[in-house]
Structure 1
Amino acid sequence: MDQLVLIGADLAAIGLLTWTYFRRHRRRDLVVAFLGVNVGVLAVASTLGSASIGAGLGLGLFGVLSIIRLRSTEIDQREVAYYFAALALGILGALPGPALWQSLAFMALLLAAVLLADHPRVMRRHQRQELVLDGAVLDRVALVARLEGLLGARVHHVAVQRVDLVNDTTWVDVRYESVAPTRRRGHAQDARDAQRTTTSSAVS
């Protein structure tokens, strides 16, 4: 009876997970992947699982499927979290813990952690982009000022990935925080002033 309850809880949890993911990100191919991985792990682990090999089977499935998935088409870190959640839910639904409530509690905790952390209102101003800038920028202060003026945002971290002196381009990975529209104009002006100051100092 407990096994049927866990299977039902897993199917409900993976249904909610994939439905929420699709509403937020609209990738149908990953919905199929999440459902297929979850139900596949649930079926295999339920068929082969037993008290003596349950833990080893769960870890083995987790490791093998992780290697297969991460060696295929590239997905971002947010989708990796959904993928591992789908995998873990399948294992929790197939291999009962010491008590039924414990497995159900872990399912609910895992579901809540992923869905709440990925909520659009959580840290919505903080973003990351990879940009290719026209011009080889070697001065970090000038680079940050240019990015803030371009993005209209406060740059928290910038990593220069490549400076091409032949083609005159700069490749950067930038993490920034969007600012309110009323503050954006003043922030962009500050960035332009900083860039002019840096340019003037270089000329002098």
Structure 2
Amino acid sequence: MAAGLAMDLMAIFILAYGLYYRRHHRRDLLFAYVALNVGIFAVVSLLLLQRIEIAVGFGLFGVLSIIRLRSSEITQQEIAYYFVAIALGLVNGLAATWPLTALALDGILLATMYVADHPALLGRTRHQVVTLDVVHADPDLLRVDLESRLRARVLQCVVTQVDYVRDVTVVDVRYIAPNARASVR
């Protein structure tokens, strides 16, 4: 169990501090990833030590799965970090049985996150919710207005709300930032 704990702490440190925090700078989620990971590790280790039947284990994880992630906005990217934090806890909790396999899986999970979330991969693509002080009936005029305001090429825009009384439009925009230099870490 000590080897599994050491591997788990090393893996979550790399994921939470080395990758996530350095790239996204959200301290609240960094703490959540570490706490969730260590909690999962502890539960899995306890299940293995007590030789509790697999049905109880699945029931426990069923309960964990219904817990809603409550926070300010959580992106799909941050949910992926949650999933990997859980997977690392599970893998390393089972590490006593197969330590080399667990170490290899840790490496695969961390390498995947490093590459998939690397700023150089899709660093210029941005997402933003924009509130405009005008309502555009023509989608082409909306796109031109957004490109002018954002000074960027709009890839996709979806109107999520229109208020004709206040003359306001809320638009979910995906665009390519001009000359955006992604920091490579």
Query: What is the DSSP-based 3-state SS (H/G/I as helix, E as strand, rest coil) of the residue aligned with 1:45?
Result: helix
Taking structure 1 as the reference length, what is the TM-score of the superposition?
0.76
Give the 5 Å matches for 1:5-24. 5-20=3-18, 21-24=20-23
Taking structure 2 as the reference length, what is the TM-score of the superposition?
0.84
Counterpart residue number, 1:128: 127
Q: Measure the CA separation in 1 of the matches of 2:62 and 2:83.
A: 11
Q: Measure the CA separation in 2 of the matches of 1:64 and 1:113.
A: 28
For structure 2, list consecutive stretches of 5 or more residues without a partner in the other structure: 181-185
Provide, for residues 96-122 of structure 1, a one-character-per-residue CA deviation record: whole Å limited to 9, x for no partner: 497443322222111111222222222
| 2:58 is the alignment partner of 1:28 | no
| 2:104 is the alignment partner of 1:105 | yes
Corresponding letter in the other structure for 1:93: N
Q: Measure the CA separation in 2 of the matches of 1:158 and 1:79.
A: 22
For structure 1, list consecutive stretches of 5 or more residues without a partner in the other structure: 182-204
Flag the 1:115–1:124 CA change in 2: closer, same or farther, 3 A. same
Which structure has the higher relative contact order (CA within 8 Å, separation 6+)? Answer: 2
Corresponding letter in the other structure for 2:84: A
Q: Measure the CA separation in 1 of the matches of 2:176 and 2:21.
A: 26
Provide the aligned C-alpha RMSD in A: 2.4
Structure showing greater radius of gyration is 1
Note the C-alpha offset of 1:82.
1.2
Higher helix share: 1
Counterpart residue number, 1:186: none
Percent sequence identity over matched residues? 44
